[in-house]
Amino acid sequence: SYHEFEIELLIYRTHLLSLYVNIHMIKLYTAAKLRAAAGASCFIRRNRRRETSPASASIVFFSTQQCRNETSSSSDFHPVTRFSEEERLVQESASSFAKNELKPLVRQMDEQQQIDSRVISRLFSNGFMALEIPEEHDGASLSFTSACLTIEELSRVDPSVAVMVDVHNTLVVNAIRFWGSKMLQKKYLPKLSSGCIGAFCLSEAQSGSDAFALRTSAQVSEDGSYYTINGTKLWITSAREAGAFVVFATVNPSLSYKGITAFVIDADTPGIIVGNPESKLGLRASSTCPVTFDNVKVDADNILGKVGEGYKYCIEILNEGRIGIAAQQVGIAKGCMDIVLPYLHEREQFGQKLVNMPMMQSQYAQAATEIHAAEVMLYNACRLKESGLPFVKEASICKLYSSQVAERTASKSIEWLGGIGFTTDLLAEKFYRDCKVGSIYEGTSNIQLQTIAKIVSDEYA
- Give yes or no for a contact between 150 and 128, defined as CB atoms under 8 angstroms apart: yes
Residue 342 CB coordination number (10 Å): 11
DSSP string, 386-450: HTT---HHHHHHHHHHHHHHHHHHHHHHHHHHGGGGGSSSSSHHHHHHHHGGGGTTTS-HHHHHH
Write phi, then psi, for 403 (nearest 5 degrees). Answer: -70, -35
DSSP string, 5-52: HHHHHHHHHHHHHHHHHHHHHHHHHHHHHHHHHHHHHHHHHHHHHHHH
Q: 304: Cβ–Cβ under 8 A, 6 or more apart, which residues?
A: 175, 176, 179, 180, 184, 246, 261, 262, 263, 264, 310, 313
Residue 459 buriedness (CB in 10 A; 0-12 / 13-18 / 19+): exposed
In whole angstroms, give the CA distance from residue 202 to residue 232: 10
**How far, CA to CA in Å, does 392 sit from each of 60, 123, 304, 382?**
41, 29, 22, 11
**How far, CA to CA in Å, does 9 sit from each of 5, 17, 23, 108, 248?**
6, 12, 21, 79, 70
Does the annotation mark 442 as catalytic?
A: yes
Q: Which of the following is catalytic: 87, 132, 370, 442? A: 442
DSSP bridge pairs for 349: 352
Residues annotated as catalytic (active site), given as ranges: 442
